[in-house]
Amino acid sequence: MDKQTITIYDVAREAGVSMATVSRVVNGNPNVKPTTRKKVLEVIDRLDYRPNAVARGLASKKTTTVGVIIPDVTNLYFSSLARGIDDIATMYKYNIILANSDKNEEKEVQVLNTLLAKQVDGVIFMGNKITDELRAEFSRSRTPVVLAGTVDPDEQVGSVNIDYEKATEEATTMLIDNGHKKVAFISESHEEPINGVYRLNGYKHALEKAAFPYEEELVLQSEYTYKVGEAVYEQLNKAGATAAVVADDELALGVLNAALDRGVNVPEDFEIVTSNNSKLTAMSRPRLTTVEQPLYDIGAVAMRLLTKLMNKEEIEEKTITLPYTIGKKGTTK
């Protein structure tokens, strides 16, 4: 009953070879005579032997697992990236240890440490702010790190993203070109470079080109949830905004529905451009106009980059910028 674990040693004995040979056939080492290989394979099959990955990890110092730090799996932006990451990881025979960080800086550091303790071969980090402490941990270990959908002005680790600044500028300009004088910009904390530096700069550039003044009431910092949409819309309304560039789809959808619930016509009286291209954008009525980021690809390319780093291959460029477009749907004219 208590089926005891069978080891490489059992296989060796049963097949009349040394464990080194068994190890070789298990690992596909070509230096094994076909006859021997066949015999060993037969015993492996008969005994239903399965290599213990933990022992292998200890001996080889490779675990074939990578850590993925994600703010929240329940957010479609991040889960879409995660999907791309996992698919490529699987393709390269890696497994994923997924850890939610809640965008909590303390938890991020803690999670990173347990990931490193588990000897992951690499780490993919999502989340918009790289604190100094986190950066210190990154460089302290020799474990390669890649940021996915996350910018770090201090480009020490690999990263994959789109040009957030240009995308935001384009979105804002589009709204201005549609005749709006009061275009709002809503994102999470400006302490996150992706918002406070890149996107905000894009927004400002668009204003400058149009010779519009920068008005503080039009720039909001809000968490990315659907339910704050109401409150955010009220603020926009109060500020006199007639259009908004929103950095998150759930939030954008909340704002859209708040407007609709108040009888506002979208896009006639109010226009919205969102930023993440998650499947939510296709599910609203009208559909959300969005910056079309290649979410899956960002994850996939990040994981691909990480495999190269783990493999110590030469990398041309540690920072990869993927293309985007603006997908005009129903929330803009």
Partner DNA sequence: CTGTTAGCGCTTTCAG
Partner DNA sequence: CTGAAAGCGCTAACAG
Residues found near a copy of itself in the complex (CB under 8 A): 2-3, 48, 50-55, 57-58, 63, 65, 68, 72-74, 76, 79-80, 82-83, 86-87, 90, 95-100, 113-119, 140, 142, 226-227, 250, 253, 257, 260-261, 279-280, 282-285
The residue among 132, 230, 245, 105 whose CA lies nearest residue 183 is 245
Instruction: Provide the sign of the torsion angle of the four alpha carbons 245, 249, 254, 260, taken in this order.
Output: positive
Residue 249 phi/psi, 5-degree rounding, is -70, -40
Say how many residues touch DNA, by CB under 7 A.
Answer: 32
Residue 32 interacts, among DNA, a copy of itself, none and using kind-specific CB cut-offs from 5 to 8 Å, with DNA
Q: Among residue numbers 19 through 48, which ones bind DNA (CB under 7 A)? A: 19-21, 23-24, 26-27, 30-37
Helices (H) and strands (E) in the chain, counts: 14, 12
Q: Which is nearer to a copy of itself, 86 or 271 (CB)?
A: 86
Strand order in the sheet with 183-187: 219-221, 183-187, 243-246, 271-274, 289-292, 325-327
**Is there binding between residue 91 and DNA (CB under 7 A)?**
no
Q: Does 314 bind DNA (CB under 7 A)?
A: no
Q: Which residues of the chain form beta strands (DSSP E)? A: 65-70, 95-100, 122-125, 145-148, 158-162, 183-187, 219-221, 243-246, 271-274, 289-292, 319-322, 325-327
Out of DNA, a copy of itself, none, what residue 24 binds, judged by CB under 5 to 8 A for its kind, is DNA
Q: Whole-number minimum distance, CB 83 to a copy of itself, in Å? A: 5
**Which residues have CB under 8 Å from 209's CB, separation 6+?**
173
Q: In the complex, what is the shortest distance from the CB of residue 32 to DNA, in angstroms, rounded to a whole number? A: 4
Shortest approach of DNA to residue 312 CB, angstroms? 14
Shortest Å distance, C-beta 307 to DNA: 17
Contact 148, 299 (CB under 8 A): yes
Binding partner of 236, given DNA, a copy of itself, none, CB within 5-8 angstroms per partner class: none
For residue 94, give the DSSP letter: -
Toward DNA, which CB reaches closer, 70 or 115?
115
Contact of residue 35 among a copy of itself, DNA, none (CB under 5-8 Å per partner type) = DNA
Is 315 a binding residue for DNA by CB under 7 A? The answer is no
For residue 16, state whether it binds DNA (rule: CB under 7 A). Answer: yes
Residue 260 burial (CB < 10 Å; 0-12/13-18/19+)? middle
What is the smallest separation between the CB atom of 207 and a copy of itself, expressed in angstroms?
A: 31
With vertex at residue 227, the alpha carbon angle to CA 295 and CA 233, rounded to the nearest 5 degrees, is 95
